[in-house]
Structure 1
């Protein structure tokens, strides 16, 4: 099979980031690509891929999918990201299965239109039969029958195991790629009125994630929550872990110059370094300086860079402001979970940890600083981890 270059293959599923902006992410894509190729020889196990929000995980996973679709023909990629909407369990199971069958058939035929067009189950059965994929047609027909007559528990079980059954039927291989894994337990309901969340979806993957013919690559942005879901409980011991970090200084600097060219906004070497320093090497914060809605931006002067970031942080139209506003609103319950005689303690702890971004802060440090007991200090740090503001390490907690 002719291999495309890293830049010229067609998008089968949309990529979130302009390929010209990719800096220091080729290594992680190639690492995950090798993981996927290892599935052919049954050498790869399921992986958890984590980082805080806006580090670019989805962009990496969508690009990985497209690369796998075009550059090899041994391992079928299956990418699924739950939409930001409420589902019934049955509707979710049908969408999950239909997405898999579309992507699998599209991959086998190297025909993106099967994936991008709005095809029904009957359409897929017809295509599979016409293209000598009888084993797929049989599985789709069986799922159609079950989805009409069985309970939602049975429907979900069959949908979830669809990749595994295809692998078993025809000795095939599938890379199951699930983005924002923790959201599966936040948007799917067991009742038609959509009032009762089904919190058992992520644990239910324990029955399929150990299948070395169809291992999983699951990602999550709420690092603490998704790590606990995947690395403990029913899924414990079934996943390896990869963490996506910040850009290296040189790569962050390279991204600044790429964006400068893309947006036609000149920078000097000094202002480029300042953007890297202010952004903390976070690609989202770097991009915000160039994509900011602030009028008459000037990134060629120190003052101009400072004014852009001041706008981004303080103005309601700022991308950074909007991101953190949504984040804190989503976590108001935890932010305000302080006793009346010490209201605002959580915010004080956040600012304290922010002062030591490059150092680890222990719960004993927090207890001493704020005159609270060690158990309560641990409770507050647990709240901050749930908000994804700090991460736990072997030696303490660090701003995330």
Structure 2
């Protein structure tokens, strides 16, 4: 197993459990080569583990080319972006990850190629589609045809899949952000273009390159999907923030080990119970900065948990505030 895409959880060993979710998603992934998988949306509150879940899916697919699915991962960040720059960023990410899969070069995941480098690769490897796309994007940017640039970028995975008889999985993390942070104004002033989610209206029905979409604000995401993609185009998958009790206990021990935080068997059980088998809550308690923290005693665990849920500067409290 390789990890070309750095997972937000940190050490990959910290991802425990989720057997039922992986079983469900792996069955879905196995149907993609035969064009039988419908696009999905994963719905879960913030800090439920969905991002690391989809990052692990990417790494599993990238590590095993025999599965016949090329993964593409794109995080739509909470930062303002000018429309044509966003289109170039999207296309460069797609092309770099596609090339990295073909060449088995994980460095291209961490450091995407530029448009010029993508074009050069296309010329060197007789991939005229890459050359044509780059030429089209650059020419349309010069002419101010930004919608054409975006269309070239967003349709790339479906077009490549059809042309080369291959399959892609298009993973878009924090999809709701596309309605709030992309501006047609170069200075990113005025209102963002709230309609860009509609760019994926027909693409969400692709069986050659199905989509796996996530978002941290469930109600908002459902509203966007219903308005721009039509509700039935993405099959819903709900993810609970809680692990099975045994899996969560394993998470307690792993976080304690990797954070070099002393615990006992008794306090491990107590941490798991008080944190309700929520791995994010567990990580907050083990890593918190409460004065005189001592997780080897019952009183110390209670104090650490109380700090996380009551101190307004704790990681748990700030997440709840968001």
TM-score w.r.t. the length of structure 2 is 0.91
2:93–2:112 Cα contact (<8 Å) kept? no
Q: Partner residue of 2:257?
A: 261
Alpha-carbon distance in 1 for matches of 2:115, 2:228: 35
Does 1:220 find its partner at 2:215? yes
2:62–2:101 Cα contact (<8 Å) kept? yes
**CA displacement at 1:90 relative to structure 2:** 1.4
Q: Partner residue of 2:32?
A: 39
Q: Partner residue of 1:12?
A: 4
Alpha-carbon distance in 1 for matches of 2:17, 2:226: 27
1:135–1:169 Cα contact (<8 Å) kept? no
In structure 2, the gaps of 5 or more residues are none
1:289–1:308 Cα contact (<8 Å) kept? yes
TM-score w.r.t. the length of structure 1 is 0.75
In structure 1, the gaps of 5 or more residues are 1-8, 328-400
In the alignment of these two chains, the number of paired residues is 318
Q: Partner residue of 2:79?
A: 85
1:205–1:235 Cα contact (<8 Å) kept? no
Q: Partner residue of 2:276?
A: 280
Give 1 or 2 for the bigger CA radius of gyration.
1
**Which residues of 2 match residues 216-365 of structure 1 at below 5 A?**
216-231=211-226, 234-245=229-240, 246-325=242-321, 327=322
What secondary structure does 2:72 align onto? strand
Alpha-carbon distance in 2 for matches of 1:263, 1:150: 51
**CA displacement at 1:157 relative to structure 2:** 1.9
Query: 1:22-76 CA distances to partner (integer Å, 9 max, x unpaired)?
Result: 2212442353244233211101110001110001111111111111111125211
What secondary structure does 2:32 align onto? coil
2:136–2:149 Cα contact (<8 Å) kept? no
**CA displacement at 1:150 relative to structure 2:** 4.2
Query: 1:133-168 CA distances to partner (integer Å, 9 max, x unpaired)?
Result: 333333333333223324222222221111111112
- Greater displacement, 299-308 / 127-136: 127-136
What secondary structure does 1:230 align onto? helix
**Which residues of 2 match residues 102-113 of structure 1 at below 5 A?**
102-113=96-107
2:77–2:177 Cα contact (<8 Å) kept? no
What secondary structure does 2:8 align onto? coil
**What is the aligned counterpart of 1:48 among 29, 41, 53?**
41
Query: 1:372-394 CA distances to partner (integer Å, 9 max, x unpaired)?
Result: xxxxxxxxxxxxxxxxxxxxxxx
Give me the CA root mean square deviation.
Answer: 2.0
- Greater displacement, 76-85 / 130-139: 130-139
Does 1:196 find its partner at 2:188? no
What secondary structure does 1:128 align onto? helix
2:140–2:146 Cα contact (<8 Å) kept? no
CA, structure 1 residues 257+227, in 2 after alignment: closer, same or farther (shift >3 Å)?
same
1:101–1:140 Cα contact (<8 Å) kept? no
1:94–1:147 Cα contact (<8 Å) kept? no
1:135–1:170 Cα contact (<8 Å) kept? no
Alpha-carbon distance in 2 for matches of 1:114, 1:250: 38
1:293–1:317 Cα contact (<8 Å) kept? no
**CA displacement at 1:295 relative to structure 2:** 4.4
Q: Partner residue of 2:51?
A: 58
- Greater displacement, 170-179 / 286-295: 286-295
Query: 1:256-278 CA distances to partner (integer Å, 9 max, x unpaired)?
Result: 12222223333334422322232
CA, structure 1 residues 117+295, in 2 after alignment: closer, same or farther (shift >3 Å)?
same
**Which residues of 2 match residues 26-175 of structure 1 at below 5 A?**
26-73=19-66, 74-175=68-169
**CA displacement at 1:314 relative to structure 2:** 3.1
Alpha-carbon distance in 1 for matches of 2:201, 2:312: 43
